[in-house]
Structure 1
Amino acid sequence: MVELPEKFPEYSIMYRTISNQIKSLQKQKENVQDTTEIDSKIIKYQEELNRIKKMFPDNFFEN
């Protein structure tokens, strides 16, 4: 049996929310000349996603 983090539902929701936020920022990036601020936000969100992913079994969020 696969062991999930104690606060599994919250982390799962956070993962989806952050993923959606990254997608939104990437779309915004297309319409902006200076993307520095957006890029830094994307990097921060991606780091948080990676942190959450490490708590779960491999490929858990790949669907």
Structure 2
Amino acid sequence: GGPLKTQSLMRDSYTPDIFQKAVIDPRHWHGRTINEIGIWYEKYFLDLNVQKAMKAKYG
């Protein structure tokens, strides 16, 4: 048979208290609200678009 206790790299990477604190709340994701993540992505993709435009214009 297989191992009695499954292991994963993610589980091994964190201390057990992280999983006890990790109550899943859809509005509060990894210590940040969904809105903050949306704002971060907007800034990130805007920056990518600026970089592409600069490269296209100035080579």
The structure where strand makes up a greater share of residues is 2
Q: What's the TM-score, normalizing by structure 1? A: 0.41
Q: What's the TM-score, normalizing by structure 2? A: 0.43
Choose between structure 1 and 2 for higher RCO, CA contacts under 8 A separated by at least 6 residues. Answer: 1
The structure where helix makes up a greater share of residues is 1
